[in-house]
């Protein structure tokens, strides 16, 4: 379970940092997911986002992710967090990315 959560957490943090770098705030990010504009994100809207993300990751279009297809975003997320480029994630690098994500969504530490 822990091995699954870490890559997912890293991807979420990298996506948040990427959205912040591109100037997307929480409202704008929500608006992209909330396709019917009701101010709520439904399970079907989340499923649509996940399906689109899966399709982007599935480079060969076979409906399954190979290790290489799956690892590409994970490695990009790792690189986004590894601020000094030393190939290792320090506690301060992870904390900095988490703080940036919290700020993006207006959450206090």
Predicted confidence (pLDDT) per residue in 56-75, tens digit? 889 999 999 888 888 888 88
Domain ranges of the chain: 2-104
The pLDDT value given to residue 1: 44
Q: Is the dihedral angle over the CA atoms 32, 33, 36, 37 positive or is it negative?
A: negative
What is d(CA 53, CA 70) in angstroms, rounded to the nearest whole number? Answer: 11
Q: Which residues contact 95 (CB under 8 A, 6 or more apart)?
A: none
Q: What is the pTM of this model?
A: 0.46
44 or 10: which leads in pLDDT = 44
* Number of residues in the chain: 109
What is d(CA 94, CA 56) in angstroms, rounded to the nearest whole number? Answer: 26
Residue 31 pLDDT class (50, 70, 90 cuts):
confident
Q: Which of 3-7, 49-53, 58-62, 78-82 is the least confident region?
A: 3-7
What is d(CA 82, CA 4) in angstroms, rounded to the nearest whole number? Answer: 19
The pLDDT value given to residue 107: 59
Helices 67-81, 91-104: inter-axial angle, 10-degree rounding: 90
The pLDDT value given to residue 20: 44
């Amino acid at each position: 379970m822990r091995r699954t959560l870490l890559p997912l957490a890293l991807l979420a943090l990298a996506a948040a940092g990427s959205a912040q770098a591109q100037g997307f705030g929480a409202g704008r990010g929500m608006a992209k997911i909330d396709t019917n504009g009701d101010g709520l994100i439904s399970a079907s809207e989340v499923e649509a986002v996940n399906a689109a993300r899966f399709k982007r990751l599935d480079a060969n279009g076979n409906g399954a992710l190979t290790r290489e297809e799956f690892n590409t975003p994970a490695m990009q997320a790792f690189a986004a967090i590894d601020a000094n480029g030393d190939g290792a994630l320090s506690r301060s690098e992870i904390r900095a990315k988490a703080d940036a994500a919290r700020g993006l969504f207006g959450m206090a530490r």
